Every structure is written in structure tokens, then in C-alpha cells.
A and B are shown apart, each in its own frame.
Chain A
């Protein structure tokens, strides 16, 4: 018993060693196969991925081509051509229609602008006549010297009247425009225009046809000869080619107000 015991123990140990070695070898094989399987799977997966990618790209390209005219059947092409032709005709007529409208609109605007131009010209003329615009042109320049202070406001009213009768388009006295609202007043040897006292040497400017204006004053028995008979009064009438008459101040209505009547 004592002798057999160690030999049996050794046998058992050898057996255990064999078993464990076999297990290790089996384990190693399993691991190796696992590695190999993983590699195979990875290759297959990569190939499938590539195939999928190509499939999608091909799908896309084909979808684009399917819509292009090269892939259509003759019947479809005929229908497409017909549709395009009718669309073309419709668009052509639309172009024609729009062009006519452009021409009409152009004519309308030119008409309107012409009308506006005429209205502006008319307004300018009316403003000039009313005295609200600076007026330049040929006319006469009348200088009145009154040393004895005998002239009365009526004499100026008469003078302006004579000038207007002679075709004066714009008149000013000492630089002040004579318009529809201008009034002469005064007394005791002073003359006032709209309340402003005039300097002693009177300068009257009238724009119009110089010949007619001069004639209206210098006719025998006219205003010039009448005024010249007053003591100390001298009247000098000169024709000028270029005279300027200032504009009157814009009117201000205090009591009345303009009413438009149609």
C-alpha cells in the first residue's frame, strides 16, 4: 500500500496533465477558427458594402436616364413633341400680347407726359403774367425826375395803364413788380407802392415790344408830353434790349380764399 500510493498519484498527475494540454489545444483551435471566421466575415462584409454602394449609384444614374428623351418610346416622344409645340404656340401668342401692351403703355405715357409738359408751360405763362416769375426781355426804361414833388399816385396809375395798353407784359416801379394786387397811394409829395415809399427818382421798367411801348408814351398829346408840362418834371424814355423785371412775392390770402369751380 505504501509503495503503490506514489505510483498511482503519478499516474493521476500524468493523466491530468494530458487532459489539460488537450483542452488548451482545443481552446487554441477554437480561438484560431474564431479569428479566421471574423476575417472571412470582414471580407464578405466589405464586398457587400461595396456592392450596395454601387447599386445605389447605378440606381440613381438610371433614374436620371429614365427621364431623358433618349429613353422614351416613339409614342411618348410624339406626345411630348405635341405638348411642346402647343406650349410654344401659347407662349408665342403671350409674347405678342405683351408686346402690344408695351406699345400701348408707351404711347399712353408719351401722351400723358406731353399733356403734363403743356400744362407746366401754361402754368409758367400764367405765373409770369400774374407776376410770380422773374421776366427778362426787351422793353423800355422810363426815368421820371420830379424835383418839385408835384406827381400824384394817379399819374403812376395812368403811366402803368398806358404801358399795359401798349402791350407791356411785365411792369415794375423802382424794382417792385406791379401785379394784380398792386396799388399806388400817397400824398404830400410822397408816392407809395403797397405801402412802401418810393425814392425820388422813379424808374419804371416795362417789358414788351419796345416800339409799341415807346409809341404809347410818346404819342403827341400822350402821357410823356402831359407830364413834361408839370414844373420840374422830366421824362426820359429809353429802349433796351435786355431788361429784367423781378417777381412779386407769393400772394397771401387773409380774408378770401381761392375756390376751385368746375
Chain B
């Protein structure tokens, strides 16, 4: 677990060091993509705790989820339904909370706190 926290911290540090800024017209795309990426990560943590984790499935899911999220925003932009990104936000948000809850439950069960 410590390794994962360190990896996240390393990513944040790298982002701070490289001074990269997403241009304003891409903000919505990357925002939803970030949400999708975090959702995938928590899904992966949950799967690894349930011992059903497969790294190929995870990597593929991570990439496709992220790209799909950005694509949904793009489609919404093109067909004049700008609010379509809200669908992606809601979907990924719910999944994020689900995954987090599962992780919490498993960890609590393992430690015998329940």
C-alpha cells in the first residue's frame, strides 16, 4: 500500500516540477479523463485486494476508460450537447465511490475491525 501512496506522491511531484498546464479548451476533456483514471486505479486496488486483479486487464481498462471519457466529452461538444460530460462525471463519480467503499470494507474485514 505504501508503494501506491508513494507513486501518487511521485506523480504529483513530477507534475509540480514539469510546470505543465492544460490549455483552457482542453480542460473539460482532461478533467473527465482524470476522474476516469482515478476510478480505474481504485478499481484496480479493489481487485488486487479481492485477488482477482489482472495487470493486462487493468492496463487496458485504465487506458480505454480514460480515452472513452475524453471521447464522450468530445462527442457532446460536437453534437451540441455540451452537458454530456456530466454523464461521464456522474458515472465515474459513482464508480469511484463504489470502489472506495469496497476497498474500505475489505480492509476493515481483513483487520477485524468490523
User: Chain B's interface: helix, strand, loop or mixed, by majority?
Assistant: helix
Q: Which residues of B contact A57 (CB under 8 A)?
A: 15, 20-22, 30
Report how many residues on chain A are interfacial, defined by Cβ distance under 8 Å.
Answer: 25
Q: Does B33 sit at the interface, judged by CB under 8 A?
A: yes
Q: Which of A35-60 contact B (CB under 8 A)?
A: 39-41, 43-58, 60
Q: Which residues of A contact B15 (CB under 8 A)?
A: 52-57, 60
Q: Which residue on B lies nearest to A45, using beta carbons?
A: B7
Give CA–CA (A60, B111) in the complex, Å.
Answer: 38
Q: Which residue on B lies nearest to A46, using beta carbons?
A: B7
User: Chain A's interface: helix, strand, loop or mixed, by majority?
Assistant: helix
Task: Give min CB distance, A248 to chain B, whole Å.
Answer: 80
Q: Which residue on B lies nearest to A43, using beta carbons?
A: B55
Q: Does B75 sit at the interface, judged by CB under 8 A?
A: no
How many chain B residues sit at the interface, stated as a range, is 35 or more
Give CA–CA (A60, B8) in the complex, Å.
Answer: 17
* Beta-carbon contact of B59 and A43 below 8 Å: yes
Q: Which residues of B contact A46 (CB under 8 A)?
A: 7
* Beta-carbon contact of A40 and B9 below 8 Å: no
Q: Which of A47-88 contact B (CB under 8 A)?
A: 47-58, 60-62, 64-65, 68
3 residue pairs, one from A and one from B, having the closest CB atoms? A52-B11, A56-B15, A61-B22
Residues of A within 8 A of B (CB): 39-41, 43-58, 60-62, 64-65, 68
